Each structure stands twice: as structure tokens, then as C-alpha cells.
Structure 1
């Protein structure tokens, strides 16, 4: 039996994480007509925290004696996770799942640009040009004009900013910080935020269908967390990262078969531009890394 290479395992884990996150989003959007946002987020958060705590305990990963600097970055990352969850899910409750996911495909570009601005990472003119072209693709999706603009697209863009901040904070964590501790802190922060938010909403009864959808969302978000942690530990990131874009394909499939939605040609064109420029950015990073090693 053939043994998979690290890159092959990394690609499979990345695609698995995208499937898990997209199925979580699908479950959450499906219950948006029945449950208010904060109630749904709180219930999912409690289940997620219990599962994550059990996994971390079983794996012996509950190490809390960490340097103050790491706790600072964990706190910053948790705040970013809270912002990302609120703005992304608000957009998801009010937009087609494929459109929201297409906007999020700008993340690799924004992380690259933010890394250059805030962390001093080198970015050549080709990658800067790719970032600019990628944002043109984002504008085609958002279409800030009287005919095509959806105000909730701004929420998706704000979510991109928060996720970018989250990823920058993640880069500053030392290697000794268990990933499960970071994920558990994020889940706890989002759950606490949701608990506070429920005071502004009226709780409604949870039907059997909504309960199943919440359980599905909790299960899939755990899978997304675990696969995304595992993928960072195998393979060449320049090879593995482009498989992130399979999330857009799954969002298109789920949007069509579950919600009967299909983006218009301009949105699809914008998504294709963003994906293409993101893949080029990773290609350039991989090529430069090989040149430095050579």
C-alpha cells in the first residue's frame, strides 16, 4: 500500500477542514430562519467547548503555564475570533453562502499584505500586484453600487479584517503553545460574547430539526478546528495552502442543493479572480522559498 507524502496528507487535511467549515456554515444558515443569532451561537459554543475540553484533556494538551507574551497574543486572537464570528455569521444569515465564502477567499491576500505592513515580511511587486488584482475581484463580488450592493457584504469584509488579525496573532505565538488551548480559548470567548448578546434577544423554543442542525454545526466546527490544526504540522505550506480554495466549491454546491442559490456571473468572475491571484501569491512564496534554500 502506497504511503502518502506529507504534502499529500496536508492537501487532504486542508480539503477536509474546508468541507467541515462549509458544512458548519450550512447548518448554521439553515437554522437562521428559526433561531436568533446569539442563541444559536451560545448553544453551539457550549457544545463546542465541552467537546474541545474533552479532546484537550484526553490528549494531555491542557497546559496553561504559558509566557505572558503568549497569553497576550491568545487574548488578541480570541478578540479577533469574536469579531470574525459575529460579522461573518451576521453576513451568512443574510446572504447566499457562496457569496460570503467568495469574499472570504481574499484572506490569503489580506494576510500577506498585513504581514508585510505589520510584521515586516518581504512582499515583492508581483505579489503586491496580485493583491491589488485580487481586491478588484472582491469588488466585483461586493459591487459597491446602487444595483448590486448588499450592505451585509460589508460585514463579510469586516470579518475578513478580523480573521486577518487573528492569523497575525497566531503567527506570533511560540511553538510550545498547544493549538487546542488556543482553540479552546477562542471557543470560550465566542461563547461568552454570545451569552452577553442573548440579553438583547428573546429566546425561542428549539425544534428537533434546529437541535439536529446545532449538533451538526458543533460536530463540523470541531472537525474544522482539528483539521486546521493538523494541517499546519505537515507538508509545505506553499503546496498545501491553495487547497483552501476548495471551500468555495463546497459553498457553491451547498448553496445550490440546500438553499437553491447560485451566484450570478459577475460574482463567479470575482471569485475566480480572487482564487487565481491567491494561488499566484502562494506560487510566488513557494518559488522564493526554494530560491532561498538553493
Structure 2
């Protein structure tokens, strides 16, 4: 039986989240062996090579001339800052906690779109955004007993990732996704090369660690391409909530490989964030349906 576009899109989104989260787990495992700059450099280098080969095979390198768009340069900057802050937190914070805070990204993008792009946001979605960020506060527990520098790094990572997604909306739609990914991966690699000596220099790696880094690059590629294919396959309002499956992967991997047991604060905060995000997706779907209905109805004459 053939799968519907929405079902295929949901499966692709789930695969994408699995790729990203498994990459995070592997990066966390090797983070004690090298500094953040070296991790960005090695992982970014393998990712750049892989994306280049695929883009060349598919004939997407012709779009490279379009990468002079300043919006792409700005996107690379925000992606690099998001990577630095995220990886800085990864080694010293439970994987599930990091993933829980990252679930606020769609809410942050909605907030940014309303403030900087002038997109309409009704009071219900404003309420959902506010409640969602309360959920983030529950997770990080501001105060001497809960808040850490790593929590700040993750919050900054959400901010930079939201800025990256907003800037992406301004990129010429004719530019190939693979070309943008190649430019981004190359930019992160260069940033890693600059940061490596600043953060302590190069650390020799074993063969097993090199193999892990190759695998992380493959997983990143799966994640990026999976999410692009998912968004182009089915309805965004149906597919987007499957982003939250990354939290299930993070909890499972954290417990299995790092002995991290989620506490009640994380579980409560994550539930608030995800519930708010799902409601925001629902309201966005209703808004689009209403706009489409009015468009079909047409003006009164």
C-alpha cells in the first residue's frame, strides 16, 4: 500500500531527528577528547566533503555563484555561533535537558518572525510562546541550585538557530539547498580551524575517534537532507510536530549510553514546551486554513 505524502513526510522528519540526535550523542561521547574548535573542524570537514560530492553528482554546484547573497553569509555566521554555543554545552549537560530546551526553537522562530519580519501572530500564539518559555525556565531552574553556564550556552544556541532560520527565509528560493548546506558546512569548518589553536590546540585522535567523526558527518547529512525532503513532501502543519521525536531519542540515548536519568523538572518543563509548540502549530494551521478560505471566497462585489 502506497504511503501518503504526509506519512512519508512524517517518516522523513522522524529520520531526520534521529540523525541529528544520534550525532549529538556521538559528539558528546568524543567531546572530552578534543576542544570545541577541533570538533567543529573535523566534523565540518567530513560533512563538507560529503555534501560536495553529493552536490557535484546532482549538478547542484552551479548554484554556488548565487552564494554571494549576503543573507547566506549571515546564515553561515548564525549557524557557526549556534554550533559553538551548542557544542560548548554538550559535554557538561544531560542530552535530554539540552534537547528539551531546543524544543523551544519553533516558538523562538515564531517570535522572531513576528518581531522582525512582520508576520501576523494572534494573541493565542503569543500566549503559547510565553508559556513555552516558562517551560524552558522550569528546565534550567534559574538560581544557584539549577542554572549553569551550560544552560546559558543552550539558550544562546536557540537564539542563534532561530536567527539562522529567519535569515534563511530571505535567501533566494532558487538557490539549491545542497549549495547552501555546502556553504554552511564550509563556514563552520573554517571557524573550527580558527578556534582550535585558541581553545588549546590540536589533540591527536585515535582511529576509533576518526571513525566516530566520519559517522557524525553522515548523520548530520541525513538530518539536513531528511528535514528538507520532509518539508517538501507533505503539509508543514502535519509534519512539523514530528520534530519533537528528537526528545524521545535524546532521553533514550542519554539513559543507555551516559546513565542520564531525566528529573521531574526536565520532564515537566519539556511537557510545557512541547504542549505550547503543538498548540502554536495548531493555531498556525487554523490561520492558514482561514486565509485560504477567504482567498477562495474572494472579495465581495
- Normalising by structure 1, what TM-score? 0.96
Aligned residue number for residue 261 of structure 2: 262
Q: 1:170 aligns with which of 168, 171, 175?
A: 168
Q: 1:232 Cα shift?
A: 2.1
Q: 1:287 Cα shift?
A: 1.2
Aligned residue number for residue 121 of structure 2: 123
Aligned residue number for residue 66 of structure 2: 66
Contact 2:67 2:180 in 1 (8 A): no
Q: 1:204 Cα shift?
A: 1.9
SS in structure 2 at match of 1:66: helix
SS in structure 1 at match of 2:64: coil
Aligned residues: CA RMSD: 1.1
Alignment of 1:68-87 (within 5 A): 71-87=69-85
Q: 1:67 Cα shift?
A: 7.9
**Could you list the per-position Cα deviations for residues 53-80 of structure 1 after superposition, in whole angstroms to 9, with x for gaps in the alignment?**
0000001111223285xx1111110000
Contact 1:30 1:213 in 2 (8 A): no
- Normalising by structure 2, what TM-score? 0.94
How many residues are paired up? 291
Contact 1:99 1:141 in 2 (8 A): yes
Q: 1:202 Cα shift?
A: 2.7
Aligned residue number for residue 296 of structure 2: none
Q: 1:281 Cα shift?
A: 0.3
CA–CA separation in structure 1 for the residues paired with 2:148 and 2:135: 16
Aligned residue number for residue 146 of structure 1: 144
Structure 1 consecutive aligned stretches of length 4 or more whose deviation exceeds 2 Å: 64-68
Aligned residue number for residue 234 of structure 2: 235
Alignment of 1:91-106 (within 5 A): 91-106=89-104
CA–CA separation in structure 1 for the residues paired with 2:284 and 2:88: 33
Note closer, same or farther for the CA distance 1:211–1:109 as it changes in structure 2 (3 Å cut): same
Aligned residue number for residue 196 of structure 1: 194
